Amino acid sequence: MPKEVVMALQLQTDGSHLILASTSSARRALLQAAGLAFDVIPARIDEGAIKSAARAEGASPEDVAILLAELKAARVALQRPEALVIGADQILVCDDKWFDKPTTLSAARAQLEQLRARAHTLVTAVVCQRRESRLWHHVASPRLTMREFSDDFLDAYLAIEGAAITSSVGGYRLEGPGIHLFDRIEGEHSAILGLPLLPLLAFLRQHRALLG
């Protein structure tokens, strides 16, 4: 039996069934590294339309991140009523401007140029849902300050990372070469990667999905 499965069986209680409602490879890797056994069922929602409508109504980044995380979890929870479903979302905010995932390398370059030498916040929400009920939610707001990097560095960084950075709302992978972009980082590392792991694990213990 693989080592990660043995660890999961030791940490998780009998009968606990977790599902991650996300396409994020970083979130999946975080749960796997923590030794959890779970299924992955991505939830397809129109994030852009929901985000735009909510912001037009005056919602805060925190409110919108929770809303999106809950919608993802709720959609999967209706399909799998026996499971505890984890949904998550992340919004990058810099000087009141909200950023989405860059769709191309040129868009990623433009975004990184806007973030250069400035601080931004990664508003990161996680929701746990069973059937129609939201059981728990949490919002973390790590703050990161980019250094004044050169255009030559940016060229080299984009060449190294390639299309991989279009999967991140920041246009960078902090777990990879993206660490070179920063002067200062404040907040839980896992929350920066998209899933506030310490509070999530605390909830799972409280909910008796994990051993206490």
User: Which residues are CB-neighbours of 184 under 8 A, at least 6 positions away?
Assistant: 119, 144, 145
Reduced to 3 states (helix: H, G, I; strand: E, B; else coil), residue 48 is helix
Q: How many CA atoms lie within 13 A of 109 on its CB side?
A: 15
Instruction: For residues 108 and 121, give the distance between their C-alpha atoms in angstroms, rounded to a whole number.
Output: 17
CA dihedral 13→35→71→63, nearest 10 degrees, is 110
Q: Give me 104's structure tokens.
A: 């191309």
3-class SS at 95?
coil
Task: Give me 163's structure tokens.
Answer: 């299309």
Could you confirm whether 89 is annotated as catalytic? yes
Structure tokens at 38: 């779970």
Catalytic: which of 39, 46, 63, 89?
A: 89
Q: Are 129 and 73 in contact (CB under 8 A)?
A: yes
Active centre residues (catalytic): 89
